[in-house]
């Protein structure tokens, strides 16, 4: 009798085990669903899902260390004050940045910052234009757009009271717009005898070396005794990319004939 019960128990256990095996073949995840087994693959999948959720929810967040507004105070027209702001990304993702100028003709310039990594900082330099705004109080603004719709855009502003120049002062901008160089290409002895005030002496044979030291976009007037050497000099310089150089027709001879021979003429090496 005992032997029969034992046999029946073994037989029943075998049937249950076979049932679980069949169940596993039809649906291996059934063991996991039943809480009887957890595969390594499943554990990695769940871990990746958690990490993936964290990455998906990570966003950048920009803050300005010094605050979003700065008042320069009084500045002279013709100057260009530089104001530095520190942009810090306190978020967990990289910030992709685009900057808009809201000054509407104020010619605000800022340093370009295309990206800031998470937990990193970058300097933004705000260049405040004053030319043409004398005797005015002005505020210039920029908009910092980045890839966090909940916090973007970030607006930064700089204000100043712009003072007009005194009657005896000139603006560098005005000087720059009218800037030119007068070059006398005659030999040093002829130049020392007489030359136009403000001209510099660069003999024709040294002209190419001299122009190698200066930008090719500036306006250069060239003068010689009668205009012939200066014509040759201009042709040479234009071939080298100096499109803004010109020769004064008639040279120093024509100048003296027009302006009573001595007007604005001096002697010496300078």
Tell me the pLDDT tens digit for each residue of 175-226: 988 899 999 999 999 999 999 999 999 999 999 999 999 999 999 999 999 9
pLDDT at position 227: 95
Structure confidence by residue, pLDDT tens digits, 212-267: 999 999 999 999 999 999 999 999 999 999 999 999 999 999 998 888 666 788 88
Tell me whether residue 124 is exposed, middle or buried, using C-beta atoms within 10 angstroms of its C-beta: 0 to 12, 13 to 18, 19 or more. Answer: buried
Structure confidence by residue, pLDDT tens digits, 11-27: 555 565 555 555 554 45
Same domain for 88 and 9?
Answer: no
Question: Would you say residue 88 lies in a domain?
Answer: yes
Residue 1 has pLDDT above 60, yes or no: no
> How many residues are there in the chain?
270
Cα separation of the two ends of the chain = 135
Same domain for 45 and 78?
Answer: no
Question: Would you say residue 129 lies in a domain?
Answer: yes
Question: Would you say residue 169 lies in a domain?
Answer: no
Structural domain harbouring 262? 179-266
pLDDT at position 6: 52
Question: Would you say residue 172 lies in a domain?
Answer: no
Number of domains in the chain: 3
Q: Give the CATH number, domain containing residue 66.
A: 2.60.40.10
Same domain for 220 and 253?
Answer: yes
Question: Would you say residue 120 lies in a domain?
Answer: yes
pLDDT at position 45: 54
Cβ neighbour number for residue 24 with a 10 Å cutoff:
14
Tokens of 186: 């005659």
pLDDT at position 228: 96
pLDDT at position 50: 44
Same domain for 22 and 90?
Answer: no
Mean pLDDT of the chain: 83
Confidence of residue 36 (pLDDT cuts 50, 70, 90): very low
pLDDT at position 48: 52
Residue 235 half-sphere exposure toward CB, CA atoms < 13 A: 6
pLDDT at position 24: 52
- The span from the CA of 185 to the CA of 229, in Å, is 7
pLDDT at position 18: 58
């Amino acid at each position: 009798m005992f032997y029969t019960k034992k046999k029946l128990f073994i037989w029943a256990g075998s049937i249950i085990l076979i049932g679980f095996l069949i169940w596993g073949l039809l649906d291996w995840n059934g063991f996991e669903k039943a809480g009887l087994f957890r595969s390594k693959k499943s554990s990695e999948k769940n871990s990746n899902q958690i990490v993936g959720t964290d990455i998906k929810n990570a966003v950048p967040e920009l803050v300005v260390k010094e605050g979003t507004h700065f008042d320069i105070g009084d500045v002279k027209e013709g100057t260009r004050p530089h104001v530095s702001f520190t942009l810090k990304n306190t978020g967990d993702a990289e910030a992709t940045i685009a900057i808009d100028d809201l000054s509407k003709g104020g010619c605000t310039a800022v340093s370009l910052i295309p990206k800031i990594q998470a937990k990193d900082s970058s300097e933004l330099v705000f260049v405040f234009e004053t030319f043409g705004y004398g005797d005015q109080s002005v505020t210039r603004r920029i908009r910092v757009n980045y890839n966090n719709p909940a916090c973007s855009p970030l607006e930064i502003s700089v204000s100043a009271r712009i003072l007009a120049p005194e009657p005896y002062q000139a603006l560098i901008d005005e000087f720059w717009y009218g800037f030119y160089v007068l070059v006398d290409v005659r030999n040093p002895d002829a130049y020392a005898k007489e030359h136009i005030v403000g001209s510099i002496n660069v003999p024709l044979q040294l002209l190419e070396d001299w122009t190698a030291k200066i930008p090719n976009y500036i306006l250069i007037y060239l003068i010689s005794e009668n205009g012939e050497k200066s014509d040759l000099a201009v042709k040479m310089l234009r071939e080298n990319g100096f499109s803004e150089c010109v020769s004064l027709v008639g040279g120093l001879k024509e100048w003296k004939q027009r302006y009573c021979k001595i007007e604005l003429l001096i002697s010496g090496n300078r």
